[in-house]
Chains A and B, each alone.
Chain A
Amino acid sequence: MLKQTGRLALAAAVGFGLMTGAGAAKAETPKSGGILNFVVGSNIPSFDGHQETTFGMIHPIRPFYSLLIRVNPQNPSDPTDFECDLCEGAVPTPTNDGKTYTFKLRKGVKFHDGTPLTSADIKATMDKIIFPPEGVPSARKAFFRAVTSVDTPDDHTVVFNLKFPTASFIPALATPFNFVYAKKDLDEHGYEWHKSNVNGTGPFTFVQSQPGAFVEGKKYAGYHFEGRPYLDGFKAIAAPKMAVRLQAIRGDRAAIEFRGFPPKARDDLVKALGDKITVQESDWNCVLLATPNQQRESMADKRVRQALTLGVDRWGGSKYLSQIAIVKTVGGVMFPSHPLAATKEELVKLKGYGEDIEAARAEAKKLLADAGQSDLKVDFSNRGVDQPYKVVGTWLVDQWRKIGVDTAQRVQPSGPFYDTLRKKKDFDVSADFNCQSVINPIADMTKFLGSAGNNYANFEDPKLEAIYAKIEQEGDAAKLRELVREYETRALSEEASGIITLWWYKINPYRSYVKGWKIAPSHYLAQHLDQIWLDK
């Protein structure tokens, strides 16, 4: 069976043009016209990019909006390649010792309702994201901790003033959730209006949304990138069940799903449709964690946490689990393909990352015995989503059984699961994740800080906070790398306050007539659709 799967994967790679990461598509002349139907494995919580964090919003709503800068859609795998969207020319380099960024805006850009875009709109948008009034949610406010103010010297110039120079500012600005709103809309309608209304400067204008069914958009004739978008419109069809999404692509009711499928689904589609299916694959800026709740007596003992991380066979999981789940890459706190990420030589020094799993399990059993927890029972809270949560969860239960830990998996739908994780906190260990969009490693690694809003391990570690404070302001690349290793060792090995399982792996099989889309290391990126065209 495995051999068959391997052959299918090989066939996909050789016969049907599998591209990995920044793999190059043949240069073809784009054709205009057509409607792109795609499936989305989630419903839309609201249309407001500033407060939402899910692909369920990004995939159908992002095409209506523009950003100040964006990841280059022709090279989305490169974590340093950004281009101007609403700004003009190249992405600016900082002045004032790295503390000032000045952006010149494109002229003649209009919102879909005809309102001209000015720097006041950028300021109003960024103020809402960075300095939201009390009670106004802003999911990525922490990304901009260095920003002190946003100024508008004239109608087409925006200046960001920073407290200290930081490499994380530009990636944070390119985050695809930073939709540019019209100041007029915010002033007239307030901060709630964008949750259910759309007025952007993006390549498509809003046509309609049928909750739980679909969102429809049509080409915006006044779009600021000349000649684009190529599509006449799009229809984002909600289909939470994976089997439905697969069948939609198989039956050509939809051309693509932008999040990702497990390897088996890819193989089935390739087997059924041959060269009518193209596959792109990439490392994914998402990592699945097991978070020990340090409010629980057993998990407050770091020997127990270390035992749990030692008991996980990451290298074996990477080999086998990757065949049935959307996880694959062994990594530390940082996106594995990033230059600052740990090499294998560095990783194997961490607890639980050694290649001798039997030795690791023996050490884990000893630690549990020393902690008086040889008969440890763990209540493992998991999310009721197959990929990758339940699959990896079942694997983890088996991994921990091998060090004598009796784990009961408690699976709940997303709502109650998050309630358990964030409010009730009545779990020993919980499945958890860190999924980010633009690869911004310095910002992304805040997940492991006890003070982070999205850390649910319920602990304080001043030493880890101090290391991060140094990382934030370190300008020297070599020193930065050392500090990141120190941070990683502290979080994953010495304290084991976070237990990384595996990083996700993105596989997108889609109809071959969809052109111009290049896989990114995040399912949030390059979803504006202005680069996509149909070769039908």
Chain B
Amino acid sequence: MTTTSESSLESQIEDLDAKPSIGEAIVKMARKQPVGVAGLAVVILMIIAAIFAPWLTPYHPEYNDFASMLTAPNLEYLMGTDQFGRDIFTRILYGARTALLVGFVAASVGAVVGMVLGVASAYFGGLFDLILQRVMDVFMAFPLIILAMAVVATLGPGTQNVIIAITIPFIPQCARVVRSNALAIREIPYVDAARALGFGHTRIILRHMAPNVVAPFLILFTAFVGQAILLEASLSYLGMGVQEPTPAWGLMLQGGAEEYAESAPWVAIWPGVAISLAVFGFNLFGDALRDTLDPRLRSR
């Protein structure tokens, strides 16, 4: 009787330890979150476009070809050409590189720094927490785009500065969310145990607390990528982002798109579609991730 019970318990424990394969996980997620998977598909498609752009199009994204200027979409130019005769499909593909570069770098740096600051703020508490949170309050008082514009106006336009401009507003947003999760974790006994064992603050923050706030971190990260793509496009549209002739979706909506929107609408439509799809994709994927990782939503 006892032997049977032990065997059953071991079996149950093995069941608990057994992890589904990636394929199974995707199928499971696809069943539960079909919209999220669609978002993931858009994201993957975008990454493929960015990586394989040179092999997917015969044209160069920056070369002028005035003989083909403002050509309507056809079999040769799938999305038509702009006022400089540049193939819009090519610029959309290469524009994905700019969007992903800015999106991933800004979101990664913003989220990681925000997470470390958030956990540290919760862990130390007291005056450190008070001062840090008030600094975060100052940053969060400004709307995202306004703060990003102010940073670009100070540093000047260009890809590197746009990344910095977008990263800065992300830090307090992530720090604030992560801090609220970390405050709960701080009270769990294993943190006290780690402290009692004489572990340093850095180890406790990075090894013991940070891994436990990964779920909100991942959710925020995916949301940040979408936001960063939209912000980069907005800054470029306002002339404060990347500069011509670099292919970038927001930049493609500026200048020519405004002037030719009526007579050559494809100049404005495709970059708009690309921005919308990318942001939509990241947001859907982020929502699905949130639903999957949040235990309160998982059972719904």
> Which residues of chain B are within 8 angstroms of A390 by Cβ–Cβ distance?
244, 255
Q: How far is the CA of A162 from the CA of B70 in the complex (A)?
A: 55
- The stretch that binds A, out of B99-107, B121-129, B217-225, B259-267, is B259-267
Decide if B142 is an interface residue (CB 8 Å cutoff): no
- Min Cβ gap B92→A in Å is 18
Decide if A376 is an interface residue (CB 8 Å cutoff): no
Q: Give which listed residue, B70, B239, B263, contacts A268 with CB less than 8 A.
A: B263
Decide if A113 is an interface residue (CB 8 Å cutoff): no
Decide if B190 is an interface residue (CB 8 Å cutoff): no
Query: Known contacts A268-B263, A384-B239, A410-B156: does B71 contact A395 (CB below 8 Å)?
Result: no
A398 touches B156 (CB 8 A): no
A262 touches B259 (CB 8 A): yes
> Which residues of chain B are within 8 angstroms of A268 by Cβ–Cβ distance?
262-263
Decide if A141 is an interface residue (CB 8 Å cutoff): no
- Min Cβ gap A120→B in Å is 48
> Which residues of chain B are within 8 angstroms of A1 by Cβ–Cβ distance?
69-72, 263-264
| A: interface residue count bin | 20 to 34
A264 touches B244 (CB 8 A): no
A409 touches B244 (CB 8 A): yes
A2 touches B69 (CB 8 A): yes
Decide if A412 is an interface residue (CB 8 Å cutoff): yes
For the residues of A in contact with B, the DSSP-based class is helix
Q: Give which listed residue, B72, B244, B262, contacts A397 with CB less than 8 A.
A: B244
Query: Known contacts A411-B239, A412-B157: does B70 contact A394 (CB below 8 Å)?
Result: no
Q: How far is the CA of A390 from the CA of B251 in the complex (A)?
A: 12
- Min Cβ gap B174→A in Å is 31
> Which residues of chain A are within 8 angstroms of B260 by Cβ–Cβ distance?
264
Decide if A11 is an interface residue (CB 8 Å cutoff): no
Decide if B245 is an interface residue (CB 8 Å cutoff): yes
> Which residues of chain A are within 8 angstroms of B239 by Cβ–Cβ distance?
384, 411, 413
- Min Cβ gap B210→A in Å is 39
- The stretch that binds A, out of B59-67, B109-117, B199-207, B272-280, is B59-67
B255 touches A2 (CB 8 A): no
Decide if A352 is an interface residue (CB 8 Å cutoff): no
**Closest Cβ neighbor of B80 among chain A residues:** A1
Q: How far is the CA of A19 from the CA of B21 in the complex (A)?
A: 75
Decide if A358 is an interface residue (CB 8 Å cutoff): no
Spell out A's residues near B (CB within 8 Å).
1-2, 4, 242-243, 262, 264-265, 267-268, 316, 319-321, 323-324, 384, 386, 390-391, 393-395, 397-398, 401, 408-413, 416
Please list 21 pairs of residues, one from A and one from B, whose beta carbons are closer than 8 Å in the complex, sorted by A's number. A1-B69, A1-B71, A1-B263, A243-B259, A262-B259, A264-B260, A267-B263, A320-B69, A386-B259, A390-B244, A390-B255, A394-B244, A398-B63, A398-B64, A398-B84, A398-B245, A401-B62, A409-B243, A409-B245, A410-B158, A412-B156
17 more contacts with CB within 8 A, not counting A1-B71, A412-B157, are A1-B69, A1-B70, A1-B264, A262-B259, A264-B260, A265-B259, A323-B69, A324-B259, A390-B244, A393-B244, A394-B245, A395-B84, A409-B244, A410-B156, A411-B244, A412-B156, A416-B156
